[in-house]
Structure formats: C-alpha cells, structure tokens
Structure 1
Amino acid sequence: MKFAFIIQGEGRGHQTQSISLAEMLISNGHEVAVALVGTINPKKLPILLQEKGNFKMETFQSPSLVYDPKTKALSLPKTVKNALPNLRKYISSIQKIKRIIDQHQPDIIINFYDFLGGLYTAFCNPKAQVICIGHQYLLLNKNFNHPKNHWFDKQIVNFNTRITALGADKLLALSFSEFPDDKSIRTVPPLLRNELVYYSTENHGYILVYLTQAELVTEIFEYASENPQIQFEVFIDKVINEVPENVHINPISSSVFIQKMTKCSGIISTAGFESICEAMYLGKPALMVPIKKHYEQLCNAHDAERAGAGIYAPKIDVELFLAYLKQDNIRNHQDWINQSESIFMRELGLSNVDSTSEKILAI
C-alpha cells in the first residue's frame, strides 16, 4: 500500500505520531510516498521531523494557535486575527496539497489533525481512502467525560476537530487507555516512537520539565531559587541566559528528551498528549498543567488523571507534585500501548480484519 501523510506541524505531538506510524508501515512492507507538513513558516521544517522524519516531506502554510504573552493563555481572538490575512495563502496551500497528492496517487491518505487537510478532503474529494488520526477525536466520542463549565470551549475545539475530519472514511482516536468506540470513531493506542522500548528506566532524583509555552518557566525558576536542593531538567524552545544553579536548560531535542525522561523522578508538563503518553510508558508520574484557556489540554489532563498518568493542577505546584511522588503511584501502561501495531494494521485495513466504513460528511 502507498500512503501520503498530511501533518499538523505545530508542536511535537502530531509529528511524533507520523514518525511512529511511518516506522510501523515501512517495517510491514508499505510505502510512505510523501508527507505534507502544515506550519506557520513553510520555509522551515519542524525540528523533530528534521531529526527523525523517515519520508519525503513538503511544507505548506497552515493556521496555528496564538498565545497572549502577558496572561500566558491561549488567545482565540488573536488566533483568528492572525489567520484572516493569510486566507489566500491557505487556499494556495490546499492547491499545493492537491497537486502533490495527485502526483503520488496514494492508496490511503492519513491526516494528522491538520485543518487545511480536512478542507482539502472536503473540496477536492480525493480518490484515496482518508483516515484521520489524533487524540482530539476522542473528544467527539459520546462516552468522553468533558470538564464541567466549559460548554463554549468544547464547541470551539470540537468544531475545529470536525473540520479536520470532513469527508474522512474513519477517525482513529488516540487514547491514554482503552476506551469504548463510538460509531465511526475507533479508539486506538498512542503512537509512540519505537526507540522507547530500548530504554531502561532509573531514578536520578531530578524533575523533568517540558513546557510548550516558554513564559511558564519563570514559575519553575522561582521555586528552584527558593529550593536549591531540588534539581530540574527543563526543555523549552527559547534561549535563556540566567537560570538558578539547580536548573539545567535543554534545547528541544527528541532523543535527549527521552534520555532525560528515563532517569527523572517525574515530569511537569503543559498537558500535551504525546509527552504524557511517553511518561506513562516509562512509568514516570506527571504533573499536568494545561495552558490557560487551552481546552484541549484541560481535557488531556483530566483524562490522563483518570487513566492513572499522574495529577492535574491549574498551575505549576511543585510541592503538590513532590507529595504525589512520595505516594508511589506508578502504574504499568505498557500492555495497552504495546498493542498499537496490531490494532493500527487492523484499522488501516492491512490485516485480514474487515475495516470498511462509510464516508463521514458531518459528525
């Protein structure tokens, strides 16, 4: 089978998923002909895909989320404001996607939650089967327990998710743990990198910190300055010159991040799906602190807490996390994640299991 990927390239989650699925497909004798990567700057390929991408890649300009530098919260008005002037560029992006897909003639197109990828499917009606993959599709499942008092946020996130899924044949919802299917939404394990299975875990006593919003690191610095006995390994995409002596800043690197995670006592993260899944697989508890007004991350944090990954907190609370670590809450999540290959091969129709489904025109 020949595959083409459409990848939402902002953040490491969807990139990691695409790399993992490509490894799985190639090892089973299939081909990933091309990956189209949506990014705010189409002249620059995301770092993770530069390091680990094992397929041909083309970039296109796609909308991205914008955060308020003062409040550190996701800003929907600024996100919309930044996107509107680029509408013509987005139309050109859809045309580029169509041109490259037509050139390669794949059997199956995988959309890793790209907004323009959904519009391409809706408007261009490709001949290939289209399958959408992302943890966000679990939020459309009627069995998902949404956080209370966030009705409007839920509608906005689910509206965006439905756009990415327009015209798709199937939705594969990545989940921290086993979860009931809902009609066309099939629940599948996380897509984690194969290299994870080769790492042994230790505990060197430091806390790993991964923040997708660099401004939040000031809260770690304040705590570290007052508690020099606690060591921190921090990953952020920003150059910082002055840091407390017990804080080590690491540039974003997928391989170094995993190596550091295997030796930490726990991880503090802004509730990104992939990082929490990796921590779960390695048996590292997590403190999940969603970015303000980021409903998707709020859902991740609550659902991961349900699955036993760690604890949710509205703000970085190191003392709370240290108390949690003393409770020895480590659970084994590898059984579910290790089923990933067999389940994906089945859902992609690459095994003997019948995976036919109807087109999703409206969800």
Structure 2
Amino acid sequence: MRILYGVQGTGNGHLTRARVLAKAFKRAGVQVDYLFSGRASDQFFDMDDFGAYQWRQGLTFCTANGKVQVGKTARHNNLWRCWRDIKQLDLQPYDLVVNDFEPISAWAAKQQRVACIGVSHQKAFLQPVPVAGDGFINQVVMKYFAPSTTSLGCHWHHFDCNLLPPIIEPITATAEQHNRVLVYLPFESADEIAQQLAGMPHQHFSVFHGQPPVAIPPNVSWHSFSRDAFQHELAGCSGVICSAGFGLVSEALVLGKKLLLKPLHGQFEQLSNALALELLGAASVMKQLDKADIERWLPQPQGVPVGYPPMGDAIVEWLLAGRWDDVSSLCQRSWQRSQLPEAWLHKWVTAY
C-alpha cells in the first residue's frame, strides 16, 4: 500500500500527530509520501521524520494580538492558487490519502475518488462534543475545509462519541521538578507577554515565542522554538500558560500539569477546547492576557495525570486492515486502554 499523508501546517499539534504516525508507518514498512501546507516553507522545523516531503501554500488564518484577523486572512489566502494545486495534484500512484485537516490533498482525493481518512482534532467537531460560538459557518468549515470519506476525530474525552484519545509522542515528567511556569502564547504580542509577566517578580517564567520582546524581564527566560528544548521544559515545569490548541494541552494533561488557557479570539476550535476543559475541570481560562488572572491561578495545585494509550501503531494497524467503515471498534479499544481521572468519569457516563 502506498499512502499520501497531507498535513496542515497551521499549529504544531498537526505536526506532532504526523510525527507519531510517520514513525508507526515506518515500523510497519508502509510507503508514505508527505505533503504539508498552511505555513511558509521556511517555517517548518524538525522535519527529518518526513523525508523529501512536498510543500504547497494551502490555506491558513492570520492573527494579531491574540485575535483572528478576518480581513487579513481573506487577503492572505490565495484561493486560485489553492484550487490550481488541488487540480494538479496527481493521486494515481496512491492507494489511500491520510489527511490531517490539509485541504489540497483532501479535495484532490475527493475529486479523483481516492479514499481519504481524516485524522485530526477538527474531525471531532463533526460529532456532538462541547462547542463554543457554534454556528453555520463553523460547521461548514469543519465539514468542507478538508473533506474525507472516513473521519477519526481526536479529543481529550470521548463525550459518548466515536472519538480517539490524543495522538501524542511519549512524554514523562522529569524527576527534578522546578518552579518555572512554561508560557506558550504564539498569537500574543511578545511585548505584552513580557509586560504582564514582569509584574510578578517572585515567579520565574520560561517563554517560548517566535519573536523577542523589546526588553526581557529578570524573572523571564525567553526562547525561540525548539522541540527538544520545549519538551524538556514542559516535563519539569510547575504549570503551563498557553493558548487552547489541542497538542500542547494533551501533553500537559498526560503530565498532570495545571493549565491556564488564553484561547485565540475568533477561533472556533480554541474557544471550544477551552469550554471542554472547563467542563472537565481540567483548566482555568482567561479571556485576556491578564496579570490578575495569572496570580489567581499560580497557587492552584497540580492536576491528575491522564493516561492516554500510544495510538500510532493502533491506527496504522487499523488502516492496513482496510475495514475503514468500522471506526467504533478502534475507538472502543482505545478508550478501554485509557486511564481518565475519576472526576471525569462522573461528568460524562462512560460509553464503553
């Protein structure tokens, strides 16, 4: 079997899932080619797992100061180029397309009648999970941005739906824990982050951001993004302040880290993620980046580690079996292998 795997480059959670599955495909001896879109070609990093991958511009959203910029997003995305790339992508060599919310490979598969398995967090929103700001446009985007013949949606809880646990790389807490708080707010202004954190001089923060601020406060360590350095800091930190993306939160939940979320305004997925975590009692949420909210959160205790099973090999085995209409058995086995906090079990009656 030869597979084309299309991956959305907006957000690092898509890349994390792709790395997990790429290693599983390699262990199974499956021939896989990779196509990435959604961010500039020179902004991808740690891509060794994907070999000589393809890149297309694709579609993404633009942000400023923690908000989606609708007008800038419309101007930035070249729909004509995207449509041309869809028409020119030849899927004749492939038996299957695996897709993580990547529009070019998904629409090419639809037009050329090639089976497409969507594996993403976004696919979870096609089922009755907690949503915030739900509306017609959001549902259209989730359904048609990257259509698939079969959907494997991932979420932190099954919510009585056919969903999978998060697909993340193995991570364990370090024996030596420190008092630094990890901060990952890529959509916020670097200067605004530094200004808010400077007002808490007795707490040390470790910030990962694409740009440095004008001045770095003495209580802040500032880092450009590195996967290895980030994972090391995450494993030993006392808590995480981040946006409400799926990937990092999943890793923090596994480690039992306390969470303070600042979701991206205007972004349906992040607002819904924040709501789901509040309902589960797994995170605190702030509407704005605010020193007072951070100070109220800092004394809170650590959370209870969530036990999600390794998913890469299980998904690849399911794909190779070819029974793609049987999603429920894969979901059932996966949640049976999970260890959810007892408090979560009382919020949604366990379906399995």
Please tell me the TM-score bracket, short chain as reference.
Answer: 0.7 to 0.9
Contact 2:191 2:214 in 1 (8 A): no
- The 2-side partners of 1:228 and 1:324 are apart by 16
- The structure-2 alpha-carbon separation of the partners of 1:53 and 1:299, relative to structure 1 and needing over 3 Å to count, comes to same
Give the AA of the match of 2:167: L
- The 1-side partners of 2:21 and 2:212 are apart by 32
- The 1-side partners of 2:287 and 2:317 are apart by 38
Using structure 2 for the length normalisation, give the TM-score: 0.84
Give the AA of the match of 2:131: H
Check if 1:131 corresponds to 2:117: yes
Pick aligned residue for 1:330 from 275, 292, 303: 303
- The structure-2 alpha-carbon separation of the partners of 1:82 and 1:121, relative to structure 1 and needing over 3 Å to count, comes to same
Pick aligned residue for 2:102 from 88, 108, 114: 114
Check if 1:20 corresponds to 2:14: no
The residue number in structure 2 matching 1:146 is 131
Name stretches of at least 5 consecutive residues in structure 2 with no aligned partner. Answer: 328-352
The residue number in structure 2 matching 1:177 is 157
- The 1-side partners of 2:38 and 2:121 are apart by 19
**How many residues get paired?**
327
Deviations, residues 248-268 of structure 1 (Å, cap 9, x unaligned): 110011111110111111010
- The 1-side partners of 2:257 and 2:49 are apart by 26
- The structure-2 alpha-carbon separation of the partners of 1:66 and 1:318, relative to structure 1 and needing over 3 Å to count, comes to same
The residue number in structure 2 matching 1:259 is 232
- The 2-side partners of 1:231 and 1:303 are apart by 29
The residue number in structure 2 matching 1:189 is 165
Contact 1:15 1:48 in 2 (8 A): no
The residue number in structure 2 matching 1:203 is 177
Give the AA of the match of 2:58: S
Deviation at 1:176, TM superposition (A): 1.1
The residue number in structure 1 matching 2:40 is 41
Pick aligned residue for 1:87 from 79, 83, 101: 79
Give the AA of the match of 1:274: G
The residue number in structure 2 matching 1:361 is none
Deviation at 1:106, TM superposition (A): 2.8
Give the AA of the match of 2:304: R
Give the AA of the match of 1:176: W
The residue number in structure 1 matching 2:49 is 53
Name stretches of at least 5 consecutive residues in structure 1 with no aligned partner. Answer: 359-363
- The structure-2 alpha-carbon separation of the partners of 1:201 and 1:345, relative to structure 1 and needing over 3 Å to count, comes to farther
Deviation at 1:293, TM superposition (A): 1.5
Contact 1:7 1:36 in 2 (8 A): yes
- The 2-side partners of 1:321 and 1:7 are apart by 34
Give the AA of the match of 2:152: L
Identity of aligned residues (%): 22
Pick aligned residue for 1:344 from 315, 319, 328: 315
- The structure-2 alpha-carbon separation of the partners of 1:238 and 1:294, relative to structure 1 and needing over 3 Å to count, comes to same
Using structure 1 for the length normalisation, give the TM-score: 0.82
Contact 2:239 2:257 in 1 (8 A): yes
SS at match of 2:315: helix
Deviations, residues 194-244 of structure 1 (Å, cap 9, x unaligned): 4x25x53542101100012141x3343223322211111001111334211
The residue number in structure 2 matching 1:163 is 144
Output aligned runs, 1:237-316, within 5 Å.
237-316=210-289
Give the AA of the match of 2:99: N
The residue number in structure 2 matching 1:212 is 186
The residue number in structure 1 matching 2:332 is none
- The 1-side partners of 2:74 and 2:182 are apart by 33
CA RMSD of aligned residues (A): 2.4
Give the AA of the match of 1:8: Q
Give the AA of the match of 1:66: C
- The structure-2 alpha-carbon separation of the partners of 1:133 and 1:192, relative to structure 1 and needing over 3 Å to count, comes to same
